[in-house]
């Protein structure tokens, strides 16, 4: 069974091709350079660039796979959540292909795709406990099977990735600034500067607007001082941003007793979070702890193709 999936929810247009659970291609057209000058994604520009980049994605998919389009069994696409204009472009591409080829269409959830992107080339068992972290989302999901997702905790305001990028923008790092904070944080002292642990309570929910404001104020107050250390600031910020995530995830592990622990989403590329997730899996001796390959952390079509394949397999 061969599935073509289209991901277009934000500023990447990507085609993923899977056959019998094996990823055959994952073509991505990124717009980071186009949005860098604006310090963030401009929705209207993102949708327009999807149209401009579409020929490249088709051509590269054909170059990599020499695809016989008539042998594609399903056309899947990201239906939600995401930027409305970007989602519409992906939907139109998918509907056009499905109509032309006479193939069934599968609308999919973007966040579910991220979770199953972490399972590519890796074994897993249900129930899954997934921490989904990105520029637009921060949440913990309990997954009992591919059709049963339950959000047990989520951010009440900013997502962790947005918090990173806003702080990075004030510092002057280029967009996206989160990876640069992570890189510098690895060289610094995380206890040098004091920052609040946002929503440090017994719930599974998160809040990052307060940490964002506190970090920006701290930077503006300290950055002109002779002893200011950028690496220590980044390390201290990263500690405050990730510590509460790990704490709440650990509480959820104890309550829900998952067999598989997953981190997914764009911010799952963060080195500190990746280390912490592996440590939690080892601490509680979980059967599987999945940290996605870096190529599957950011938005991509392969993760959506894998999700589609899992859903179809579950129906057999």
Number of continuous H segments (helices) and E segments (strands) in the chain: 10, 10
Check the annotation: does 227 bind a ligand. no
Nearest CA among 311, 206, 204, 291 for reference residue 256: 204
Check the annotation: does 66 bind a ligand. no
Check the annotation: does 145 bind a ligand. no
Q: Is 9 helix (H, G, I), strand (E, B) or coil?
A: coil
- CA-to-CA distance for 216 and 237, rounded, in angstroms? 10
Check the annotation: does 110 bind a ligand. yes
Check the annotation: does 133 bind a ligand. yes
- CA-to-CA distance for 27 and 12, rounded, in angstroms? 10
Tokens encoding 175? 């967009």
Check the annotation: does 50 bind a ligand. no
**Residue 4, class by beta-carbon neighbours within 10 Å (0-12 exposed, 13-18 middle, 19+ buried)?**
buried
Check the annotation: does 182 bind a ligand. yes
Check the annotation: does 270 bind a ligand. yes
Nearest CA among 153, 190, 151 for reference residue 271: 190
Tokens encoding 274? 């990746």
Query: How big is the chain by its Cα radius of gyration, in Å?
Result: 20
> Do residues 195 and 211 lie in contact, with contact meaning Cβ atoms separated by under 8 Å?
yes
CA angle 100, 96, 93 (to 5 degrees): 140
Check the annotation: does 265 bind a ligand. no
Tokens encoding 76? 């899947």
Three-state SS string across 275-305, please?
Answer: HHHHHHHHHCCCCEEECCCHHHCCCCHHHHH
Q: Mark the binding-site residues for Fe cation, compressed into ranges.
A: 110, 114, 299
Residues at the binding site are: 110, 114, 132-136, 165, 178, 182, 270, 299
Which amino acids are annotated as binding site for substrate, given as ranges?
Answer: 132-136, 165, 178, 182, 270
């Amino acid at each position: 069974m061969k599935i073509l999936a289209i991901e277009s929810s934000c500023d990447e247009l990507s085609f993923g091709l899977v056959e019998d659970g094996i990823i055959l291609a994952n073509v991505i057209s990124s717009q980071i350079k186009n949005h860098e000058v604006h310090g963030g994604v401009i929705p209207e520009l993102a949708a327009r660039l999807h149209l401009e980049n579409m020929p490249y994605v088709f051509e590269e998919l054909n170059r990599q796979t020499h695809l016989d389009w008539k042998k594609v069994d399903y056309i899947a696409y990201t239906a939600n959540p995401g930027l409305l204009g970007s989602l519409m472009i992906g939907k139109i591409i998918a509907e056009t292909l499905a109509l032309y080829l006479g193939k069934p269409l599968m609308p999919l959830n973007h966040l579910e795709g991220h979770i199953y992107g972490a399972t590519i080339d890796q074994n897993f068992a249900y129930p899954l406990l997934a921490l989904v972290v990105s520029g637009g989302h921060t949440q913990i999901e309990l997954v009992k099977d591919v059709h049963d997702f339950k959000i047990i905790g989520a951010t009440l305001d900013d997502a962790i990735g947005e918090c990173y990028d806003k702080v990075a923008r004030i510092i002057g790092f280029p967009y996206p600034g989160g990876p640069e904070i992570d890189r510098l944080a690895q060289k610094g002292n995380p206890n040098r500067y004091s920052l609040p642990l946002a929503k440090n309570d017994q719930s599974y929910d998160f809040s990052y607007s307060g940490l964002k404001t506190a970090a920006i104020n701290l930077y503006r107050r300290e950055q002109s001082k002779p002893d200011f250390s950028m690496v220590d600031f980044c390390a201290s910020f990263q500690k405050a941003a990730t510590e509460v995530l790990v704490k709440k995830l650990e509480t959820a592990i104890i309550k829900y007793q998952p067999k598989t622990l997953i981190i997914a989403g764009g911010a799952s590329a963060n080195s500190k979070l990746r280390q912490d997730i592996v440590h939690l899996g080892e601490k509680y001796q979980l059967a599987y702890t999945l940290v996605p390959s870096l190529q599957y952390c950011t938005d991509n079509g392969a993760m959506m193709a894998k999700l589609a394949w899992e859903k179809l397999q579950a129906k057999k």
